C-alpha cells in the first residue's frame, strides 16, 4: 500500500493539512475494494483527484476510467449519455449508441456533480448500484455491467433529500464511504504553498520571473475567504503573474485582485448574518402593516356602505364591532412580532411601538368620519415605517442606492424618488 506522501507526489497534490492527509488515506484504503465512494466538499477544492487515486490503486486500473460531469449534460439527453439508446428511440437517434456504463464495463466511472441528476436518472442509477443492471433508452432488453462508481458533489445532500431533489436510498448507496475534502481557507499554510507552486508553474509557462509576496501580502492571502478555493487561487496567481511588472507583490497590489476583499474576510461573516436577520424582520413588519391596512380598508368600505343605507344605528354597531376586531388583531400582531425580534435593541423596540394604534375615544367611535381618522393615522404609520427602513438600508450600505434598492426589493429609480420625497 502506497503512503500518503507518495500518492501526493504522484498526483501533484500540494499541502500538509491533517484533514487533507486523512482524506487521501481513506482513498488509499478503500481503493482495492469495489465499495462506492462519495466525495464531498465545496466547489474548487480538488474533488476530481480522489477518484483518480482510487482508480489507479484498484484492480481496475488497467480498464477504462470515465469522468462524467452530470451538471453539464442536459436533462433530456443524460439518460442516453449514461445508459445508451437504441436506433429510433427518439428524434435524432439515427443509430444505436453505447452509454458510459456499457463502455466502462470493468472499469471506474466518476460522476461529478451527482447531486444535479434528475430524479428519473437517479432511479436508473440506483438499479445499477443494486444489481448492475440497466436498460438502454428505447430498449426492453436488460444489460449487465460491472462498474465501480465514485461520485462527487458540492450540494448539501441532507438538504437536497429533505426538499425531494435527491433520493435518500441512492444517497446511502453512493456514500458507503464518504470522503470530505476541506475548503482552502481551513488549510492554513497550505494556501501559501499552493500560491508558490502556481507562481512557479506560470513563471515557467510564460517565461518570466516568479512572483513573490511580501509579509503583508502573505497575511492577506491567509485571511482571505477563498470562496472559489484552489481554482480561485490558481486563477488569481495566473492573473498576477501575467499582468504585474513588479515581481514583488505587496498587500495593496494583491488586494486589487481579490474580489470583494472586505466581505470575504472572516471578520465580516457575522455582519452577513445580521443582514439576513434584518431582511427577515423587515418581511415580518411588512406582513403586519399590510394586514392592518387591509382591515382598515374593510372598515372604511363597510362604513360607506352603511352610510348610504342611512341606518345610523347599524353604522355605529358595525363600527364598534369591527374596531374591536382591529385592535384585538393589532395586539396579536404586536405580541407575535415582539417574540420574533430582538427586544434588547432600541431599534427593535421602536419597530414594535410604531405598529401601536391608540384606541380612539368613545366619541370618536360614534362619528361617521372615524374611518378617515384611522386611515390617516395608518398612512402616517406606513410612511414612518417606510422612511425608517429606507434610512436603515442606506446607512448599512454606506449610502449606495443600488445596494439599498436591492435589499429593499425595489428599483433604484423608485428608491431615488423616495429619497427626494422624504428629503433624505
Domain boundaries, the chain: 4-182, 185-264, 268-421
State how far the Cα of 10 lies from the Cα of 100, in Å rounded to an integer: 27
- CATH number among 3.40.1390.10, 3.30.559.10, 3.40.50.360, 3.40.50.300, domain 4-182: 3.40.50.300
Q: What is the 3-state secondary structure (H, E, C) of 167-236?
A: CHHHHHHHCCEEEECCCHHHCCCHHHHHHHHHHHHHHHHHCCCCCEECHHHHHHHHHCCCCCHHHHHHHH
State how far the Cα of 209 lies from the Cα of 7, in Å rounded to an integer: 30
Q: For residue 113, which of 152, 74, 79 has the smallest C-alpha distance?
A: 152
Q: For residue 285, which of 346, 355, 344 has the smallest C-alpha distance?
A: 355
pLDDT on residue 285:
62
State how far the Cα of 53 lies from the Cα of 34, in Å rounded to an integer: 14
Whether 4-182 and 185-264 share one fold: the answer is no
pLDDT on residue 299:
67
State how far the Cα of 313 lies from the Cα of 317, in Å rounded to an integer: 6
Query: pLDDT by residue (tens digit) across 199-246?
Result: 999 999 999 999 999 999 999 999 999 999 999 999 999 999 999 999
In angstroms, what CA-CA distances link 316 with 125, 320, 328? 70, 6, 18
Which residues of the chain fall short of a pLDDT of 50? 263-278, 312, 337-361, 363-376, 378
- Protein fold of 185-264: Helicase, Ruva Protein; domain 3 (1.10.8)
For residue 389, give the H/E element and its range. Answer: helix 370-396
Q: Which residues contact 143 (CB under 8 A, 6 or more apart)?
A: 102, 133, 134, 135, 136
Amino acid at each position: 500500500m502506497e503512503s500518503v506522501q507518495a500518492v501526493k507526489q504522484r498526483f501533484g497534490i500540494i499541502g500538509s493539512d491533517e484533514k487533507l492527509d486523512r482524506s487521501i488515506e481513506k482513498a488509499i484504503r478503500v481503493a482495492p475494494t469495489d465499495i462506492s465512494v462519495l466525495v464531498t466538499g465545496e466547489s474548487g477544492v480538488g474533488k476530481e483527484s480522489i477518484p483518480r487515486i482510487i482508480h489507479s490503486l484498484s484492480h481496475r486500473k488497467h480498464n477504462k476510467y470515465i469522468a462524467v460531469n452530470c451538471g453539464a449534460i442536459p436533462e433530456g439527453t443524460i439518460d442516453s449519455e449514461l445508459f445508451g439508446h437504441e436506433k429510433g428511440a427518439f428524434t435524432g437517434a439515427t443509430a444505436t449508441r453505447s452509454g458510459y456504463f456499457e463502455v466502462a464495463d470493468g472499469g471506474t466511472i466518476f460522476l461529478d456533480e451527482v447531486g444535479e441528476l434528475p430524479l428519473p436518472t437517479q432511479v436508473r442509477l440506483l438499479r445499477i448500484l443494486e444489481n448492475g443492471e440497466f436498460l438502454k433508452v428505447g430498449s426492453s432488453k436488460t444489460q449487465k455491467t460491472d462498474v465501480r462508481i465514485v461520485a462527487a458533489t458540492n450540494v448539501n445532500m441532507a438538504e437536497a433529500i429533505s426538499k425531494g431533489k435527491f433520493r435518500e436510498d441512492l444517497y446511502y448507496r453512493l456514500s458507503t464511504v464518504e470522503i470530505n475534502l476541506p475548503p482552502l481557507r481551513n488549510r492554513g499554510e497550505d494556501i501559501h504553498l499552493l500560491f508558490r507552486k502556481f507562481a512557479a508553474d506560470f513563471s515557467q509557462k510564460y517565461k518570466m520571473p516568479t512572483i513573490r509576496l511580501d509579509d503583508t501580502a502573505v497575511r492577506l492571502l491567509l485571511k482571505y475567504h477563498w470562496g472559489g478555493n484552489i481554482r480561485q487561487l490558481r486563477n488569481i496567481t495566473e492573473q498576477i503573474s501575467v499582468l504585474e511588472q513588479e515581481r514583488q507583490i505587496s498587500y495593496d497590489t494583491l488586494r486589487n485582485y481579490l474580489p470583494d476583499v472586505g466581505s470575504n474576510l472572516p471578520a465580516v461573516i457575522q455582519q452577513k448574518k445580521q443582514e439576513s436577520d434584518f431582511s427577515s424582520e423587515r418581511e415580518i413588519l411588512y406582513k403586519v402593516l399590510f394586514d392592518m391596512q387591509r382591515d382598515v380598508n374593510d372598515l372604511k368600505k363597510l362604513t360607506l356602505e352603511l352610510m348610504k343605507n342611512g341606518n345610523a344605528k347599524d353604522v355605529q354597531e358595525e363600527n364598534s364591532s369591527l374596531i374591536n376586531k382591529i385592535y384585538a388583531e393589532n395586539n396579536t400582531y404586536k405580541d407575535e412580532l415582539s417574540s420574533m425580534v430582538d427586544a434588547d435593541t432600541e431599534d427593535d423596540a421602536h419597530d414594535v411601538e410604531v405598529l401601536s394604534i391608540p384606541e380612539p375615544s368613545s366619541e370618536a367611535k360614534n362619528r361617521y368620519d372615524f374611518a378617515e381618522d384611522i386611515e390617516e393615522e395608518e398612512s402616517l404609520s406606513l410612511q414612518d415605517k417606510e422612511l425608517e427602513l429606507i434610512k436603515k438600508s442606506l446607512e448599512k450600505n454606506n449610502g449606495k442606492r443600488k445596494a439599498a434598492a436591492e435589499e429593499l426589493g425595489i428599483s433604484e429609480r423608485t428608491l431615488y424618488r423616495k429619497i427626494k420625497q422624504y428629503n433624505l
